[in-house]
Chains A and B, each alone.
Chain A
Amino acid sequence: MMITAGIDVGVKTIKAVIVKDNKVIASGIAPSDGFERKKAAEQVWDKVLQQAKLSASDMATVVATGTGKMDVSFAKNNVVEPVADVEAALWLFPPARTVIDVGAEQIRVVKFDETGKVANYTLNQQCGAGLGIFAESMARALAVTLDEMSQLARKSRKEVSINAECGIYASLDAVTLIHDNTAKADIARAVLDAIANKINATANLTNIEQPIVLIGGVALNTGVVEALKKRMGANFLIPKDPELAGALGAALIGASETL
C-alpha cells in the first residue's frame, strides 16, 4: 500500500490531493489568503486528511508544487510545476502529448513524449501575466462573476476586439467599450477572446502535438475554452477537476520512484 499527497500552492488558490494505490481518495481547494498562505496550506491539508480519515504519518511522502511550494511546512519534497503538469496529464489521459495549464498568473504549455519526458516548454511573457487575475479584474469592471461572464458572452451578437498582448491595454480597451455603450455581452465575449488569444499565442511558440490536455482554473471557463478551440483548431481533454491537476501530479510523482 502506498499513500502519497500533493499540494499545489498557487497565487490565488491552494489545492491538495491524496493518492492511495494509484487512486485519488481525497482532495480539497481553498483561497491562498495572500500573506497567510502558509496557514492556509496547513488548513487545506488538515481538511483533506480528515476527508481521507488519515493522519500525516500515513503518508509515504508529501510533495509540494506551485508558486508557493517552498512555503509548505509539512512537505518532504517539491517538484517544479511543468513536471507535475505532465505527470497528471499522462495519468489522466495516457495518449496525451501536450498539456496547457492556465492559472491565475501563468500560462504553461508543455510538450512531452510517451514516457513523460519534457520535449518543449513555454511560459507566457511577463507582459501577459495575470490570466486568471485579468479575467477577475474584468469581471469586476462588468460587475459580474466569472461564471456570469461566460454565460453573458454566449449572448454576444457582435464581435469586438480588445488588445491581447498586455493586460493593461486590454483593460483600457474594455473601459473604452463600456463608455461607448457596447453591449455587456459583447464586452464579455471580447475579454474571453483576448484571454484565448493570449493562450493561443503562447501555445504557438511551442511545437505542440495532440492530444492536448487543458488544466488550471481557466479550463473551467467554458467561454475561454470554446474560443480557444476555434483558434487552435483542436479539441481538449479536460479532466473533471482541472484545478486539482497540479496537486495530483505532485502526489503521483511522490508515489513514483523517480523522486
Chain B
Amino acid sequence: MAVEYWRWPEEEGISTGVDCKKTASITAGVDIGAVSSKAAIMCDGELAAYSIIRTDADSKASAQKAMDKALKAAGLEIGDIRYIVSTGYGRANASFAKKTVTEIACHARGAPYMYGPTVRTILDMGGQDTKAIKSDQYGKVLAFIMNDKCASGTGRGIETFADMVCVPIQDIGQMSLEVDEEPEPVSSTCVTYANSMAIQLMRRAPKNKVLAAYCFSIAWRDYILLQRLANQSGDGSVEKDLAITGGLAKNTGVVSRIERELGFKALPAKKGDPQIAGAVGAAILAAEMVTSGKSR
C-alpha cells in the first residue's frame, strides 16, 4: 500500500470549561463541504465541541458522521440539540438540520466568534473554492467574491500536489518556508497548470523551492482575490483584521505569503480550528433562531 501523502487527519475537539449539562440552549452547525464535513456544538453561545471529517461519495452519510462525532465528543445525544443549521455545498443533505444557510453568511458569523469581534475581512480557503468576504461588526456580509472557477488554489488541488511530490500534506507549508531565496510562483492562474509546472520545476529545483513556488502561487491568487474585493467595495486596500478560514488556513507557507503580500498579519484563531468557521457560524445562527423564538 502506497503512502497516502494527501490524507490529512480527521479530528475532533472539545472546549474545556464548557459544561453542556448546565446549559439552557444547545445548538449545532454542520458544514458539508466539497472535501471536508464539519460539525460544531455551541452551549449558551460557547463552542463546546467540534469534528472535522472527510466528505466521501455519500453526502448525507458524511453529514451524519460529522454530527455524530461532535455529539460523541461533547457527550450529547442528537435529542439534546435544540436547533441545527446546515451550510456548505451539501447543506441540503443534512436531514437532521432545520434550516440551511449559505456558507458565506455562516463564515461571516463564525469568524468574529473565533478570531475576535474586530474581523472585517474573511478569506475562506476551502476544499474546492476560495471566497473573500467583507463584513461589519455584527457579522453581516457587506460584499463577497469567489475565485474564478478555473483558478482554484484549493484543498483538493493541494491534495493532488502532495500525492505527486510525495510530501505529507501537513508538512508542505512549513517546508516551503525553509528556502534561502523566495522563488517565483509557479502559475498565477490555474491549478492544473500549477501542478504540471511544478512537475517541470521538480526536474531542476530542490524540494523546498518547489513547495515554496507552489504555496506562493496559491497565496498570490488569494492576495489578488482580496484586492479585488477591496476595489469592488470601494475601499482601495484590504481592510485589516483579516480572518483566514478553511483547511488551507493551516498551511503556514500559504498564510505567511498572503501576509507578506498584504503587509500585515492575519488574526489568529483564538477558539476552535480555522476549518470549522462555517460550522461555528451555523451554530451561532441556530442559537439566534432559538432566542428570537423562531425555532418552532
Interface residues of A (CB under 8 A from B): 11-12, 31-37, 67-68, 70-71, 105, 126-127, 129-130, 133, 136-137, 140-144, 166-169, 171-172, 175-176, 178-179, 181, 184, 187
Q: CA separation between A127 and B195, bound complex, in Å?
A: 11
Known: A129-B195, A140-B6. A35 touches B165 (CB 8 A): yes
Total residue contacts A-B, CB cutoff 8 A = 105
Do the beta carbons of A36 and B166 come within 8 Å of each other? yes
Interface residues of B in 14-63 (CB under 8 A from A): 32, 34-35, 54-60
Q: Find chain B residues with CB under 8 A from A168 CB.
A: 149-150, 152, 157, 190-192
Chain A: which residue is nearest B55 at the CB level? Answer: A178
Known: A11-B164, A31-B2, A35-B166. A133 touches B195 (CB 8 A): yes
Q: Find chain A residues with CB under 8 A from B156 CB.
A: 137, 141, 171
Q: Find chain B residues with CB under 8 A from A36 CB.
A: 166
Do the beta carbons of A166 and B59 come within 8 Å of each other? no
CB of B202 within 8 A of chain A? Answer: yes
Between A and B, 9 residue pairs with Cβ closer than 8 Å are A33-B166, A34-B164, A35-B165, A129-B195, A136-B160, A140-B6, A142-B57, A166-B150, A178-B90
Q: Find chain B residues with CB under 8 A from A167 CB.
A: 192
Known: A31-B2, A137-B156. A179 touches B93 (CB 8 A): yes
Q: CA separation between A172 and B163, bound complex, in Å?
A: 19
Interface residues of B in 192-217 (CB under 8 A from A): 192-193, 195-196, 199, 202-203, 206-207, 210
Which of A169, A176, A179, A187 touches B150 (beta carbons < 8 Å)? Answer: A169
Q: Find chain B residues with CB under 8 A from A31 CB.
A: 2, 166
CB of B267 within 8 A of chain A? Answer: no
Do the beta carbons of B92 and A179 come within 8 Å of each other? yes
CB of B68 within 8 A of chain A? Answer: no
Chain A: which residue is nearest B195 at the CB level? Answer: A130
Chain B: which residue is nearest A175 at the CB level? Answer: B34
Q: Find chain A residues with CB under 8 A from B163 CB.
A: 133, 136-137
Which of B149, B203, B207 touches A71 (beta carbons < 8 Å)? Answer: B203
User: Closest Cβ of chain B: how far from A170's Cβ, in Å?
Assistant: 10
Which of B152, B190, B199 touches A11 (beta carbons < 8 Å)? Answer: B199
Chain A: which residue is nearest B5 at the CB level? Answer: A34
Do the beta carbons of A130 and B160 come within 8 Å of each other? yes
Q: Find chain B residues with CB under 8 A from A12 CB.
A: 164
Which of B89, B93, B196, B203 touches A181 (beta carbons < 8 Å)? Answer: B93
Known: A166-B150, A187-B57. A68 touches B203 (CB 8 A): yes
